[in-house]
Amino acid sequence: MTVAPDSTRPIGVFDSGVGGLSVLRALQVELPQERFVYVADNGHAPYGERDDAHVLSRSHAITDFLVEEHGIKALVVACNTATAAAIHALRAAYPVLPIVGIEPALKPATSLSKTGVIGVMATRGTLNSEKFRKLLENLHGTGTFVLQPCDGLADAIERFDTVRIQALCQDYTRTMGRFGSASGEIDCLVLGCTHYAFVTTELATLVGNHIALLEGGVPVARQTRRLLEQAHPGMLNQDPLAMGQHAPIFYSTGNLNLLESAVQRWLQLQGKTVFQKLE
């Protein structure tokens, strides 16, 4: 592989499936001159319902592919579960590669909440992780967190199963308790899985438009810019002619048609888009 100049090398992004497209969308807004390579590991999903060893193995395999085949200049782990299970190991394996993870927006929620009661919807893998436990410990005393594991929701979003999405969102929000602005009610809802950013309309209908819904794509995009700026001169692509000129390359380890449908549904892309199967 011939390595391109730093500024034109792509940024790698991966998730267990299509949820990370919400992060990619934010990255394209923040970094419109950059090239992206996206891997949906839907052949090995759902991460949130698998053990850490499985997620760690898949995270290493995808990162190795992105480094060796595409010479990426930065990596975005666009999955809360993979961030919790693997990001420390990835940083140890690739010490010079800027790596950005994502975590549930608990801290911003504590600043925003008026009632002090914050709902958290996430996968079971994220909620059971050591990283999430430490995040909660660091926020001890700043609020009350109502944690809701959402088994099956990411998979339903992956398959665009609207009936199942509606049913699961209804079940999980009802289980969490009352939403509102009164004392003891949940007034902020943290979306702790990148997939959930694509069902904000359904969630807002159930909990009320006055309830703040917090997801992590925009902070991740801003942190990616900061790391590229700090890495060394010439890493960030600042060529004005590159603005919006590069459609991402998409890979899927599972159903390629599902990925193509999700990209067409949720991303506004210009230019030729490449989809490839990754074994």
Establish whether 79 is a catalytic residue: yes
Catalytic residue from among 79, 150, 169, 188: 79
Strands (E), the chain: 11-15, 36-40, 74-77, 99-100, 117-122, 144-149, 188-191, 212-214, 249-252, 274-277
Distances in Å between the Cα of 25 and the Cα atoms of 17, 132, 272 are 14, 25, 17
Q: Which residues of 42-74 are buried (b: 16+ CB within 10 A; e: fewer)?
A: bbbbbbbbbebeebbebbebbbebbbeebbbbb
Give me the phi and psi of 247, to 5 degrees please: -75, 140
Establish whether 188 is a catalytic residue: no
Q: In this structure, how many other beta carbons lie within 10 angstroms of the beta carbon of residue 255?
A: 16
Catalytic residue from among 150, 169, 188, 193: 193
Q: Which residues are catalytic?
A: 79, 193
